[in-house]
Amino acid sequence: MYLLPTIQDVTNVLVALNRFLALLFPLIFRNFFTRRLTLVLIPCSILFSFTSCFVTVGAPGFFLDITSQDNTSAKIYMLHADSKLNFPMINRSTLITAHIFVCSGFTFSIYCIIAVHIFRSKILANSNELRLLLLGFLIFLANIPSFAYQIYWAIMQSDGSEDVFMSLPWVVLTKTLSPPLLMLVTNEAMRRQL
C-alpha cells in the first residue's frame, strides 16, 4: 500500500525526464540514459521511495513503524537511545501524501514544458519519441485514480479505503507495472534489442 506506489511516482518522474531530454536535448539524452544508467536508476528510485515510507531524513534516532493501540492510525516513532521510549514524530501518511504531490507535480511540470516547447518549435520532433511521450503522459493520467485513492487514504485514515483501492485491479496494475516497463522501452539502446 505504501512502497510500490511511491516507487512508481519516482519512476514517472524519471520517464518524464527521459522524454524531456529525448525531445529537447537529444545529445544529452544519448549520453545520459544509457543501458547501464537506466538499470541503475530504477533501484535508486526504490531506495529514494524507502525514505518517504520509513525515514524522516535529518532527524536523529531510529524509526520504527508501530501501529497505535486503537489500530486506526500508523505513525512513525523515534526510539530514544537512552530512555527506550517511543516518541511520536510524524504521521507516515503525511510523508506519503507529500511524496505523491512532489513527484506528480514534477512529472506534470516536465510534461507541460515539453508541450510548450513542441507547440512553440517549428521543427517537428522525432515521431517515435513523440509517441513514447504521449504514451508516458497517458500512463501518468491513468495513475490519477490511484493518486486520488492514496491521498484519500492518507488524509481520511479510513479502514475501508484500502479495500476499495485493492478491489480495482486496473488501478493497481497501471500504477505499479507501467512506469518501470516504459522506463526500459524509452531507453533507445534497449529498445533496439527488443
Contacts of 22 (CB under 8 A, 6+ apart): 29, 33, 126, 129, 132, 133, 186, 188
pTM above 0.75, yes or no: no
> Which pLDDT score is estimated for 59?
43
Amino acid making up residue 37 = L
Q: Where are the alpha helices (DSSP H) in 25-91?
A: 26-32, 35-54
Return the domain boundaries, the chain: 3-54+92-187
> Which of 152, 179, 180 has its CA nearest to residue 165?
152
3-state helix, strand, coil in the chain (%, to 5): 70, 10, 20
Rounded CA-CA distance 137/143 in Å is 10
Residue 124 DSSP code: P
Q: Which of 39, 92, 38 is nearest to 65 (CA)?
A: 92
Retrieve residue 72's grid coordinates. 486506526
Which has the closest alpha carbon to 100: 176, 2, 186? 2
CA distances 108 to 9, 13, 17, 80, 96, Å, are: 11, 9, 11, 40, 18
Helices (DSSP H) in 66-126: which residue ranges?
92-120
In a structure prediction context, what are the per-residue pLDDT tens digits for the chain, which is 194 residues long? 566 677 778 878 888 888 888 778 878 877 877 778 877 877 887 777 776 666 444 444 444 444 455 444 444 444 444 444 444 455 566 677 777 788 888 888 888 888 888 777 765 556 666 777 777 777 777 777 766 766 666 566 555 445 555 555 555 555 656 666 666 555 555 555 54
Q: What is the structure's pLDDT at 79?
A: 44
